[in-house]
Structure formats: structure tokens, C-alpha cells
Amino acid sequence: MRELINNSRAKFGTAPVFFTAISTILGAIMFLRFGYAVANVGFMGTLMIILFGHLVTIPTGMAIAEIATNQRVRGGGEYYIISRSFGINIGAAIGIALYLSQAISVAFYLIAFAEAFDPVIVWLQTNYDFVLTKRMISVGALLVVAILMLTKGANLGMSALYGVVAILFVSLISFFMGEPTVAASGIGFHFYSTVEDKDNFFMVFAIVFPAFTGMTAGVGLSGDLKNPQKSIPIGTLLATFSGLIIYVFIAYKLTTSATVDELNNDQLIMQRIASWGLIIPIGLAAATISSTLGSIMVAPRTLQALSQDKVFPSLSLNKWLSKAKGGNNEPFNATMLTLGIAAIFVAMGSVNTVAIIISMFFMVTYGAICLISFLNHFAADPAYRPDFKSKWYISLLGFLLTNFLMFKMDPVYAFASIIVMVGLYFMVAKTRKNFSGMSKVFQGVIYQMNRRLQVFIQSSEKDNDNWRPSVICLSPDFFKRPAAFTLMSWLSFRSGFGTYLHFIEGYLSKDKNREAKETLDRLIKMAGVNKSNVFLDTLISPSFTSAVAQAIQLPSVSGKETNTILFEYARDAPEFLPAIIQNLSLVKATNYDVCVLSSTQKNFGVKNTIHIWLTPNDLENAALMILLGYVIIGHPDWKRASLKITALFPEDEISEYEVKLKEMIKLGRLPVSPHNIELIEQKEDVSVKEIVLQKSKDDDLIFLGFGYKELKQKGEELFAGYDGIGNILFVHAATEHTINYDE
């Protein structure tokens, strides 16, 4: 697999993954909105938010750890994992949404960064009458970050990250050492207390959820890590569980240290609780600036990886965005675009609004990662051998919960997110048609489902009353005459199953095997054009007889036993007919129904009429011929067709059989009009062939029955003498079939 970002100087270890993740987790929401959460949903409700949030993030973290230890995670982090599992078309759609969430996160953290300057704003206005707005601070911080990242790159981000994390932890220690506010003194612990005019649970969850999303921040550094398979699982999971524990204690501390009104009205309530209050705004500034640095390092690398995969409509745009700078492969142009997007959202200036947007995009991403893990477990692909293993039910829980929470948080945003994802998918699929829309993980799932269904079908009780065609066709003439394959596609369209084997005469060898594979590729390509449901394969054998012996012992593609075999020959050049007749004795031993297609240049005509002929000598074939005719006219090619039935009987049996036949058609619910049923008295001086030639000269497909006894007596003559009419399907039922009746 091609490396997305070829960085030979990758030098980061596990610590940057952990610190990038934990500094993003313990960020703006913790300082600004956790008091709001406790005030609106109470301590127990806040614990539920923490629980729900980590029921999403822990399965996602475990899924990332699992996938990262099964494959080499190159540049692009989460996007790389998703695109290499789902295929680039689907992966790119999710990857673009992921990138947008990361880019918008930059704005979110800068908006929150400005909130840390409340004391400074008040001091300047009080002492110097100078009005400093928070938007001015956000924009100024964005300009500083832009200059630093464009000139210094990720190395500066890492250097600053360690100092910022130190300040963050000092501020937390100060908070936990603090005393309750004056108003909260003596109140004690209140599990369920909330403000009167409170927001609903899922609205609070949507605003608070970004507090838990930082656990994947370190994954975006994958292209800069020495050993991503080791650093990503350890750093990600350690940050996730550390964040969980810290948030529980923060919720408890807030509940016991302030009243619900104070928690709801003062977004910097932690400053009033902390033993050294000034450290809280500093910690907030440190947390938000570290999260900003983390996002500004990760988002451009995601965009760079997307452009390396050429997912955007313009090739020049892809080239421009993938352009790197310096020895560390810094995504210079992608960083400039990311800063531009961040500037747009900084102008919005609302923490809550941007938080909800981020929550939706992260939910989509996390759900996709959990789904990948679940599908890989279900597929049971031997190539999927991660060093770290999650559980399938944990991944499934994460996927289901992300979808549930999206719609509970805000159905409008959820639907909009899905519409955006679908639009992005079609954009990529249209501009890059060579990309795979589904990847091997889906193939593995389909294989696993098919395997289990086949075992179930085989082990279940056989139901002989509900017959459906399970047909195998053996022919060397696919590329000369596709008539047999066409008939198979009709039988396999909805009600039946078909396996078409192209016979290659010879002994199995390296050359013959290569020929068979090349032939199969041609067959699949041609069948794809026809949108056939027939399973195709080739069969190498020294003779047609040995090929028949092999074919009739093969299982059906349906998982059920094969019950019908189809042969085909050209009526105007019947050289292959003797081989068919010669091998019917082999087929007789298997109790298969037999169909022999006599094809002509007229082929299947205009597909208006299927004519079934019944004679006293093949009554046991009647039901099978009617059932096959019914299955064929169910195909769209025959949507305007009608079934005709003509029965040839001695005069004294006609009336009795007419009533019986019409009753069978009616109760069997078959689409045969009574006007299309004709009974003809057979005269001794007129042969069946003469009547068929006269009555069926304009029919598109003709059914005639035959028996082994008659075949033994007449041989090739049984199939001869039908020149001038269309394709004929000669049918022999090994056992008499029944047409189910209403009780």
C-alpha cells in the first residue's frame, strides 16, 4: 500500500500521543461548561453524560488500538484507518467530515481561549476604560498560531505542548485543593439538584460531548510517530481512561463546592473554587491553546492525506493541498486552508453552537471506526490479526450508541450530517471512479454471512414442497452462443439459483490453469454487462464425460443441492448433441431434472410467448415445465410475455384432462389465462412434431417433455425435425413435481 505521507524523519514516541489526547480531553468544555452540566442535569445526570460519552469514546479508542496494531497507520491518522478499511470512496467522505470537525475545533478552542481573559477584560475596562472584546482575542490568537505553525511546524507544537500540559495539571491540582464558595458552605452533597429552567439532558450532552473527543487527537500524528502500532494504542487508551477518572472527580468537586445557580451562571466557577483562583484562567488558556495546537497539527495532516489520495474533483487542488514543506513534510498549504476555515467559525463566536457541530461530525467518525472493528470481527478474515483485541460487542455498542445519540442530540443536525456525508461520497465516486466504494471488509462480511447461511440451509430440514430451480449448466460454447447462459440468468433472477460452468477440454496444468483464469475473467466481465445473477466458473477436464461426472457432484452456489442440469446445442450444427445424449445416463444416476436447450439463430425472438406442450407420454413433466415457464416470465425481459399451454390427448380423455388442467392452473396461482389453454385431439396420422411446427412457428420459447425410455429408442431423432421454429427447451423431470394448492 502506498505511503500517504512519506516522512523518513518521524521521531515522536508514545508521550506526544498521550499528551495531545489528554490536553484536548481536559480542555475548554471542562473549564467552561462542566459547571453548566451539573447545574442543568445534576450530579447523577452529569455522571450519565460522562458514562454515555465514554461508552462512545472507549469502544472507539479500543477500535483504534485494535486497527492500529493490525496495519501500519501512515499519515492521516483516523482517515487512513477508515479509508484503508472501507475503501477510499467511503473513507474519503468520512475523512472530509473528520477534517472539517478538526478544522472547526481550532475555532472552537480559540473562542474558548478568549473566555479565559474575562479578568483581563474587566481589569482593562475598569482601570483604563479600554474595551477589549473576546473576538479580538480569538482573532489575535489565531494570527499568532498561524504564524508559528506556518514557520515552525509540528516541532514547535510539541515543544509548547509539554509546557501547556504542565500548567493544565497545576490548575487541576489547585481546583481540587480549593474550598466551597460562601453560598455553598453547609449545603452538602446534592445528587439531583438542578436549576429551575434547565436544558434537557441531550442538549447538555451535545454541548459537553466535545470534552471527550480529544482521545483520537494523537492518532492524527501517526505520520510523525516512530512506532504508531505501539504509541497509538497505549497513548489513546491511557488518555481516555485518565480523562474518565478525572471528569468523575471534577463533577463531584463542582457539586460539593457551589450552588446550582452559581454553576449555571458563572462559566468560570472553577476559578472561585480553586485555592489559587488565577491559575484557572491560565489553565483554561493553556488547555485551549494546547487543544488548538493539537488540532492545528492534526487537521492539515488529515487534509494532506486526503489530497494525496486525490479525492477532490480538481487535480490541481489535490496537488496544491498535498504540497509539503521542509524535511519534516509539514503540510504548509493544508495548514493555510485550515486556518482560513477556522477564521470563519471564529467569527461565529458561540461556544455552544460550534460544540454541537463538532459533536455531530465526531459522532459520524467514531461510529465509522467502531463499525470497522465490528465488521472485521464478524468477517473473521485470517489477515486481520491485531496485537490488541477488542470485543465485537463493544465495537457494536459504540456504533449503535453514536447513531442513537446523534438523533437524540439534534435530529436536524443529524440528518444534515448524513446528507453531507452522502453528498461527499457521490462527489468522490463521480470524480474518482477507479476508487473502490466497498472494501475487503465488506467482502469478508458477505462471505461470512454466506457461509453461515449455506450451512444453515444444508442442515435445515428439506422442504420438497417448496421447489425452486437450482440449476447447473455445463457448456464449452459460451463465447459462440450465449443462449444457455441467458436462460440461466432468467432462471436465477429471483426464484432460482444458477451455476454456469464453462468446459475447457484438457488436463490440468499450469498453462491450462492460466487459460481457465483468463477465461473466467472474460466470463465475469460479459456477465457483468448483462447484470446476471449466475455464478460463473470454469472446469478443466480431459473429456466431456469426466466433466459431467465432476459437475453433477458439485454443490450449488445456493447452499442447497443442485436439482437441475442444463445442456445446450446448436440445432443447425448439432455436433455436440451426441455427447449430451451419451452422458444423460450419468445424470440419471443423480436423480437430476434435465433440460436440453436446442438453440437457433432466431434465439428467443421478441420474448412475447412461452409455449408449453403436453403429451400423454410426458405427463410427469407437466408440472416442472409449467413451473420453469412461470419462473422465466418473472424476469423483466419477459414482462410482456404470456404462457400458453397446449395439450395433445386422445379424444376420449380431453374433457376430463381439460377440467383437471384448468383447476391446477387456477389453484396453483399461475399466470396462465384460460384462453391460453388449448387441448387438441391427437390423430394417428399426424405426428406431434408436425403439430408443434404448425402451432409454434411464432413462439419465442417452446417447452417439450421427454423421457429416458423414449430417448433410448429414438436417440438424436428425438430432438431433430424442428427446423423453422425458435428455441426449444426439452425437459425431463426425474420425479413428478407438484404445484402447491390453496387449502
Domain identity same for 247 and 139: yes
pLDDT at 514 over 60: yes
* Confidence (pLDDT) at 7: 43
pLDDT for the residue numbered 176 = 92
In a domain, 353, yes or no: yes
Q: Give the number of C-alpha atoms closer than 13 A to the C-alpha of residue 76, restricted to the C-beta side.
A: 28
**pLDDT (average), residues 389-416:** 87
Given a cut of 60, whether residue 4 has pLDDT beyond it is no
Section 723-733 average pLDDT: 92
- Residues 476 and 403 placed together within one structural domain of the fold: no
Which stretches does DSSP call E strand in 675-726? 677-681, 701-705
Q: What is the pLDDT of residues 178-216, one digit of tens each?
A: 988 888 776 666 777 888 888 889 889 988 888 887 776
8-to-84, 229, 289 alpha-carbon distances in Å? 21, 17, 29
- Cβ atoms of 390 and 373 within 8 Å: the answer is yes
The arithmetic mean of pLDDT across residues 408-424, rounded, is 82
Shared domain check, 655 and 570? yes
| Any domain includes 294 | yes
pLDDT for 8 equals 42
Backbone Cα Rg of the chain = 36
Q: Is 315 exposed, middle or buried (0-12, 13-18, 19+ CB in 10 A)?
A: exposed
Region 660-670 average pLDDT: 64
Residues 65-80, mean pLDDT to the nearest whole number: 68
447 is a domain residue: no
How many domains would you assign to the chain? Answer: 2
The answer to whether residues 476 and 410 belong to one domain is no
Tell me the average pLDDT of the chain. Answer: 81
Q: Which of 403, 431, 459 is the last residue of a domain?
A: 431
Out of 431, 460, 486, a domain closes at 431
Domain containing 124 — which CATH number?
1.20.1740.10
Residues 504 and 416 in one domain: no
pTM: 0.64
Q: Does 215 lie in the same domain as 352? A: yes
Q: Which pLDDT value is given to residue 212?
A: 84
**How does DSSP classify residue 437?**
S
Check residue 1 and give its pLDDT: 30
Among residues 431, 458, 486, the one where a domain terminates is 431
Residues 676 and 602 occupy one common structural domain? yes
Residue 234 above 60 pLDDT? yes
Residue 596, pLDDT > 90, answer yes
- With contact defined as beta carbons under 8 Å apart, do 293 and 145 qualify? yes
Tell me the pLDDT tens digit for each residue of 541-593: 999 999 999 888 876 665 567 889 999 999 988 999 999 999 988 888 888 99
Strand partners, 541: 505
Supply the pLDDT for residue 366.
Answer: 84
Are 195 and 277 part of one and the same domain?
yes
Lowest mean pLDDT among 119-133, 155-169, 258-272, 677-691: 155-169
Q: Is the pLDDT of residue 614 over 50?
A: yes
Lowest mean pLDDT among 65-74, 117-126, 416-425: 65-74
What percent of the chain shows pLDDT beyond 70?
A: 81
Q: Are residues 386 and 492 in the same domain?
A: no
Strand partners, 537: 501
* pLDDT reading at 3 higher than 50: no
Residues 397-401 have a mean pLDDT of 91
β-strands 593-599, 564-570 pairing: parallel
> Does residue 512 fall inside a structural domain?
yes
Is the residue at 446 inside a domain? Answer: no
**Among residues 637, 483, 633, 635, which one has the least CA distance to residue 645?**
633
* Residue 238, in any domain of the structure: yes
pLDDT band at 651 (very low <50, low <70, confident <90, very high): low
Instruction: List the strands of the sheet with 535-541, edge to edge.
Output: 535-541, 497-505, 470-475, 564-570, 593-599, 727-732, 701-705, 609-614, 642-649, 677-681
Beta bridge partners of 507: none
Residue 651 lies in a domain: yes
How far is the CA of 430 from the CAs of 142, 187, 434, 544, in angstroms? 36, 63, 9, 46
Q: What is the distance between the alpha carbons of residues 106 and 293, in angstroms, rounded to a whole number?
A: 8
pLDDT the model gives residue 222 = 57
153 and 201 fall within a common domain: yes
CATH of the domain at 680: 3.40.50.12370
Per-residue pLDDT averaged across 20-49, rounded?
Answer: 87
pLDDT in tens, 310-332: 888 888 888 888 887 765 667 88
In a domain, residue 414? The reply is yes
Residues 283 and 198 in one domain: yes
Q: How sure is the predictor about 378, in pLDDT bands with cuts at 50, 70 and 90? A: confident
Domain that holds residue 229: 14-431
For residues 89 and 167, membership in a common domain is answered with yes
Q: State how far the Cα of 442 lies from the Cα of 243, in Å rounded to an integer.
A: 34
What is the pLDDT at residue 45?
A: 92
